[in-house]
A = this chain, B = another copy of it.
Amino acid sequence: MNTQDHNLNMSRILTEYNIRPTTIRKNIAGLLFDGTDRHVSVDDVIEMAHAANVKTSVASVYNTLNRFALAGLLRRVSVDLGRMFFDTNLSEHHHFYYENEGRLEDIPHGLIKVSGLPKLPKGRAVKSINVMVWL
């Protein structure tokens, strides 16, 4: 897929998720959504943008990633104190956390099963279940 097609593709995705396809949004989306599963921090994205000659600001990266997450285009994954990860893998899955490296890795969907969930307090519903395996 050439650059122009890729750009159009990003536009389509953003529009689909009700996000205005502005220049920096398309650029950041272009860095993240290439079909691979990523777990990026804000700093990662800033570095990726720099490496790709995408001119933007720290505030815009925060704004963009938070907006993507709110729209359901990224998933927030918080492990330890300090920094948030944004996950491009939207399927239901869990994570290995390599503590020394500060790195997340997907555990493929369907492998891990959680059973034995107790009855919930009345009026409560499960929003999500997150399993983190520390290595």
Contact = CB atoms under 8 A, between A and B. Distances in A.
Q: How many copies does the complex hold?
A: 2
A131 B129 CA distance: 7
Interface string A114-132: 1111101100111111111
Contacts of A107: 117-118
Given A126-B134, A130-B134, A133-B129, A115 B113 contact: yes
Interface residues of A: mostly helix, strand, loop or mixed? loop
A84 interface: yes
Interface residues of A, number: 32
A25 to B, nearest CB: 23
B133 A117 contact: yes
A113 B112 contact: no
A107 B126 CA distance: 14
Interface of A: 78-81, 83-84, 99, 107-108, 110-118, 120-121, 124-135
